[in-house]
Amino acid sequence: MKLSKRLQLIADVIIKYKQGSILADIGTDHGYLPCYLVENKVITKAYACDVAKGPLDSSKETIKQYKLDNQVFPLLGSGLNPILKRQVDMISIAGMGAYLICEILDEHREYLRNIEVMFLQANTNNDHLRKYLFANDWIIIDEQMVKDSGHIYEVMVVTARKNKAVTYSQRDEEFGPILINNQTPLFKEKWKNIETNYIFNDWISCCWVGGPHGWCHPDGVIAFQNNIGKWPDVEDVYEDLEILAKEFPFLNLTCTLMNDEEFDATESLVSFEVKNGEVNVIDTIPIDELQFDRERKFTFRPGHENYFDLETIKKWADEVYKED
Ligand SMILES: C[S@@+](CC[C@H](N)C(=O)[O-])C[C@H]1O[C@@H](n2cnc3c(N)ncnc32)[C@H](O)[C@@H]1O
């Protein structure tokens, strides 16, 4: 039996994380997943469950076609209801919206305490599903992504939270605690990461012990960034600016490259204008016309945002929010 790429990934994670040998597939439709797993001897028994008669009949066809009548049992009913009185080790729920999956899980929370592992794949609103799971003492032990027919799916492997110390953030809910720490090309495609090589907005974070180099004012003006790494050509910087201009066509700024860092620079070399999604070379802006504070004294103050204390930052934040 050949599965779709999406179902194959679910089968693969079941092969990797299976516990016990009996699986219930809720919302099974054609019953491909349970039939595949039994046929390939990953499990010995499966329940193919569906709320609707039509899809369940389809699963019966598949069971018949692959001669699995003694191992895959079609059951009609909503959610977990058809399996409440049966022994089940694992549950898979795939191909539905997250809200429906959560309703199904929530209806029989106590029953689920005896389930070793769940394999979940929501077509939409993965953040909602994760939020529900985390709030109900489930943990995600693995997450994987797959692109199938132009759509990117996320598959979660879920077990009961035994260690109370595991905590999740809003970021984990949104992006997936494992996916975000293992940013695959598919993750980047989904979240449309923008990658530049030399130009970053490092106002908030920077690994340099002296604090961030950037100087992005609360009103959005990026006034200064004094070091963009080792050692790009003008073309490299131009290419980064092009990426930013394309992604943020509302940007309206100039960029001037100087012959050295903040306190040692003596002349401007080239200026660009980023506007309307394009980058153009403009007349070089002389160094003494650039808007940055050359009098600032160099001090190591780790943890400070460009020499601005928390009070100042708060004051600016208040001004910005007041404007909204
Ligand atoms: C799009 S199909 C997904 C089939 C298969 N799980 C997959 O991933 O390819 C969704 C199936 O869920 C079933 N379904 C919807 N609500 C359900 C519920 N409350 N309980 C059980 N099955 C449900 C539908 O009848 C349908 O067959």
3-state secondary structure at position 247: helix
127-141 per-position pLDDT tens digit: 999 999 999 999 999
Q: Which residue's CA lies nearest to atom 27 of ligand 1?
A: 29
DSSP E strand boundaries for the chain: 22-26, 45-50, 72-76, 90-96, 117-122, 138-148, 151-160, 214-216, 222-225, 252-258, 268-275, 278-282
CA angle 222, 199, 182 (to 5 degrees): 120
What structural domains does the chain harbor? 5-190 (3.40.50.150), 195-324 (no CATH)
The two tokens of residue 142 are: 């693995």
211 contacts 296 by C-beta, under 8 angstroms? no
CA of 185 to the centre of ligand 1 (A): 29
CA of 48 to the centre of ligand 1 (A): 10
Mean pLDDT of the chain: 87
Least confident of 36-50, 135-149, 284-298: 284-298
Give how far Cα 154 sits from Cα of 4, 19, 41, Å: 14, 21, 25
How much is the pLDDT for 312? 72
194-209 per-position pLDDT tens digit: 778 877 655 544 555 5
Q: 299 pLDDT band (50/70/90 cuts)?
A: low
Q: Is the predicted pLDDT of residue 256 greater than 80, yes or no?
A: yes
CA atoms within 13 A on the CB side of 170: 0
Question: Pocket residues for ligand 1 (CB within 6 Å)?
Answer: 7, 26-29, 49-52, 55, 78-79, 94-96, 100, 104
How much is the pLDDT for 204? 46
Q: Is the predicted pLDDT of residue 163 greater than 90, yes or no?
A: no
173 contacts 132 by C-beta, under 8 angstroms? no
| One-character DSSP codes across 121-142 | EESS-HHHHHHHHHHTTEEEEE
Q: Is the predicted pLDDT of residue 215 greater than 80, yes or no?
A: no
Q: What's the predicted TM-score (pTM) here?
A: 0.74
257-272 per-position pLDDT tens digit: 988 876 678 999 999 9
